[in-house]
Structure 1
Amino acid sequence: MEMEARVRDSFERQGLMHHLGAQLTEIAPGRVHIILPSRPEVTQQHGYFHAGATSAIADSAGGYAAYTLFPEDSSVLTVEYKINLLAPAEGTHLEAIGTVLKAGRTLTICRLEVYAIQPTNRTLTATGQQTLIRIDKRPER
């Protein structure tokens, strides 16, 4: 199965991304974009995007960025990630970008960025770094 189809197929099986309303928008080797439209279910008490929703799409964007570089008969799991929330996230949607910084045989390191998109501007609202593990000979279910 080609890389893009494998990533899309896996993303479709992600219950949390479906529950949040997140959408996979760009896939390239070592880089994935996910958007999350604004709606009341993903906000906190002040109307900003909830940090949990922001973190979830960042984690998935990084995970899928790593997965684009993995062999077909493998899977990916997050080992750890650190995220810094830089500004309140408000706008029409969020865009998370995961980018592979270093792909290793077992561990892969990704940069995570989340932007709040408004009609007239794009604001970096969160940034982070993530470590993922490749599990060989264990395709996804």
Structure 2
Amino acid sequence: MTPERTTQIQQSFAAQNMMKSFGASLDHLDDGSCHLSAPILEGNRQQHGFGHAALTFGLGDTAAGYAAMTLMPPDHDVLTAEIKINLLSPAKADRLVAQGQVLRAGRRLITVEAKVWGITGTQRKLVAVLLGTMVPVPISAAPAAT
């Protein structure tokens, strides 16, 4: 991945309002790989005090999407076509780390996975696994924000 593409992806991530509201950070980018993390803020907890599944899903989907983007040409973005999540454990942690990875990059479909870990101190527990499909789209064809 070129330095220009890295910068382009970092700028794209910085424009994600939902990730901003989660307090998420882009921690690692490499060809076919992306790691994100976010604290489990009070506003992102469900009624039992665990991190909400929407936080887990959002981080996993976004990490998987940016992992796919690392393999795209600079004039392309990706959109999620479908993604499933298996919630393995409550997100009872201080923060979540999502590790997205490309399993197979085709011309029309990119198969991705993400693992989301709950982290408290040195304790690490697998919270969720996601499996999905991303679709490459030319940036000029990507839906504009309204």
- TM-score bin, normalised by smaller chain: over 0.9
- Could you tell me how far apart the structure 2 residues matched to 1:47 and 1:137 are? 39
User: 1:34: Cα distance to partner?
Assistant: 0.6
Residue 16 of structure 2 corresponds to 14
SS at structure 2 position matched to 1:138: helix
Residue 119 of structure 1 corresponds to 121
- 2:55 equivalent to 1:53: yes
**TM-score scaled to structure 2, two decimals?**
0.91
SS at structure 1 position matched to 2:92: coil
- Could you tell me how far apart the structure 1 residues matched to 2:139 and 2:116 are? 32
Matched-pair contact (CA < 8 Å) for 2:22–2:41? no
User: Identity rate of aligned residues, in percent?
Assistant: 39
Matched-pair contact (CA < 8 Å) for 2:61–2:130? no
Residue 96 of structure 1 corresponds to 98
- Could you tell me how far apart the structure 2 residues matched to 1:72 and 1:5 are? 11
Matched-pair contact (CA < 8 Å) for 1:75–1:138? no
User: 1:133: Cα distance to partner?
Assistant: 0.2
Q: Tell me how large the CA RMSD over aligned residues is.
A: 1.5
- Could you tell me how far apart the structure 2 residues matched to 1:120 and 1:134 are? 37
**TM-score scaled to structure 1, two decimals?**
0.95
* Runs of 4+, deviation exceeding 4 Å: none
SS at structure 2 position matched to 1:116: strand
Structure 1 stretches lacking a partner, 5+ long? none
Structure 2 stretches lacking a partner, 5+ long? none
- Could you tell me how far apart the structure 2 residues matched to 1:128 and 1:139 are? 26
Q: Deviations over 1:10-40 (max 9, x none)?
A: 0011111111111111111100001011210
Matched-pair contact (CA < 8 Å) for 1:73–1:139? no
